[in-house]
Amino acid sequence: MRIYVTEDYNAMSRRVASILAAQVILKPDCVLGLATGSTPVGAYKLLAEGYKKGDLDFSQVRSINLDEYVGLAPTHDQSYRYFMQSNLFDHVNINPDNTNVPNGLAADPAEECRRYNQVIRTLGPIDIQLLGMGHNGHIGFNEPADAFALETNLVNLAESTIQANARFFASADEVPRQAMTMGIQTIMQARKVLVAVSGKDKAAIVKKAFTGPVTPQVPASILQMHPDVILVGDKAALSEL
């Protein structure tokens, strides 16, 4: 595992954006595994700037997002599809048909998970999977559990995740209780995994995930078994490593 310690969030974002940009330059038709959340916002902004400057071309890039809330329309401002459009896709020349996020409004979410698995099987393996990390060690919406989930699956969100995400909604009651998430096996099949973390509040879980036992109770701990992981974090997030 390679670890890059940066001064702060902005420097972390620059490093993450550079690694993703390098991937797009080296393999213009690459498959990017993308994440939402507050961590990658700065990196996406820099990628959009790279496109505007003419340094990056996303015309052949394919993307597969990690997850989506069940019940939120793509136009809902807290849906992950909306997040991706407003933070990245609307600002670069990626072909909308080449972007993939589970459909939060699918009538049958279990069937939607199966469809998404098929999409991943057809496009994959993912060249580089960007991940943030939850305070309980979740990656995607793979919450602490008795076993590692394999493929895209329907999950009940942990209470801690609902509370953490409540800041984006009018109240915790409005946070959806279920989500569809790419499974751990799929994440582990990505050729490269890029984990981004920022802030002191992530320091304890970063330590647990990367130096503690590998256990489905800390889903990110499985990344210790991946042959090509890059961890980029600001010094606050990596302070306990």
Q: Which residues are catalytic?
A: 67, 136, 138, 143
Residue 35 touches ligand F6R, criterion: CB under 6 A: yes
Under rule CB under 6 A, which residues in 117-156 are in contact with ligand F6R?
132-134, 138-141
Residue with tokens 């790419």: 182
Indicate the residue among 66 and 149 with the shorter CB distance to ligand F6R. Answer: 66
* Residue closer to ligand F6R, measured from CB, 38 or 75: 38
Count CB neighbours of 176 within 10 A.
18
**Among 135, 151, 188, residue whose Cα is nearest residue 143:** 135
Residue nearest to ligand F6R (CB): 132
Distance, C-alpha 18 to centroid of its chain = 17
The span from the CA of 201 to the CA of 67, in Å, is: 23
Output the smallest distance, CB 133 to ligand F6R, in A. 6
Among residues 92 and 195, whose Cβ is nearest to ligand F6R? 195
Near ligand F6R by CB under 6 A: residue from 6, 23, 36, 79: 36
Question: Cα(65)–Cα(83) distance, rounded to whole angstroms?
Answer: 11
Query: In angstroms, what is the minimal distance from the CB of 218 to ligand F6R?
Result: 13
Backbone angles phi, psi at 232, to 5 degrees: -115, 120
Regarding 206 and contact with ligand F6R (CB under 6 A), the answer is: no
Report how many residues bind ligand F6R under the rule CB under 6 A.
14
**Whether the Cβ atoms of residue 64 and residue 125 lie closer than 8 Å to each other:** no
The upper half-sphere exposure of residue 114, i.e. CA atoms within 13 Å in the direction of its Cβ, equals 4
Of 13-21, 32-40, 43-51, 107-115, the segment contacting ligand F6R by CB under 6 A is 32-40
- Per the CB < 8 A criterion, the answer to whether 175 and 64 are in contact is no
39 binds ligand F6R (CB under 6 A): yes
Interacting residues with ligand F6R between 74 and 113 (CB under 6 A): none
Token reading at 26 = 């080296």
Query: What is d(CA 68, CA 37) in angstroms, rounded to the nearest whole number?
Result: 11
Give the nearer residue to ligand F6R in terms of CB position, either 41 or 57.
Answer: 41
- Candidates 30-38, 71-79, 187-195, 227-235 — which segment interacts with ligand F6R by CB under 6 A? 30-38
Work out whether 67 is an interface residue with ligand F6R (CB under 6 A).
yes
Query: Closest distance between ligand F6R and the C-beta of residue 165, in Å?
Result: 7
In this structure, the number of other CB atoms found within 10 A of the CB of residue 154 comes to 17
Task: Tell me if residue 234 falls in helix, strand or coil.
Answer: strand
Judged by the rule CB under 6 A, the positions of this chain that interact with ligand F6R are: 35-39, 66-67, 132-134, 138-141
